[in-house]
Structure formats: C-alpha cells, structure tokens
Amino acid sequence: MPKYYEDKEEDGRACGGVREDLRQCLLESPCVLQENKSPKQCLREGHCRSLQITFFACKRSMLDTRARFRGRKGY
C-alpha cells in the first residue's frame, strides 16, 4: 500500500497521492541521501521511474476528454 494512505491528510489537488509518493521516494533515495544530489538531478538519472511514469499518466489523463467517463489514472 502506498505511504500516502497512512496517517496523512487528504490533498485536494489532482494526483496528490502520486505526487506525495514520488516526493518521498526521491527524498529517501540513496542518490539524495548518500550522494547529496538534488531530487531534480536524481529524477533525471532515473530514480523512482515507475512513480514518475504513474504521475505523468495521471496528469495526462486530466487533459483527456475520455477521462470524464473513465476517471483519472493513478490513485
């Protein structure tokens, strides 16, 4: 289960759960903790790639007119 659901208040923004999980994944990655790089640099290097793809799909589904019927992707 994603960390978003454990003891956190509801984020009203679209794709808030995926955004929070991506942020936590980057901040807890060895790239940030051990190599002292910025989260933006670690994201470019490919860390937390699956969450990045899920976040992109969620944001893209907001622009898709079919999403009115199917709902947003992500969680």
Give the whole-angstrom CA distance, residue 67 versus residue 22: 22
**Residue ranges covered by each domain of the chain:** 16-63
The string of pLDDT tens digits covering residues 2-55 is 554 555 556 677 788 899 999 999 999 999 999 999 999 999 998 999 999 999
Q: Which whole-number Å values give the CA distances from 21 to 8, 44, 53, 67, in the listed order?
A: 12, 17, 12, 22
Average pLDDT rounded to a whole number, residues 54-74: 78
Q: Is the pTM of this model over 0.75?
A: no
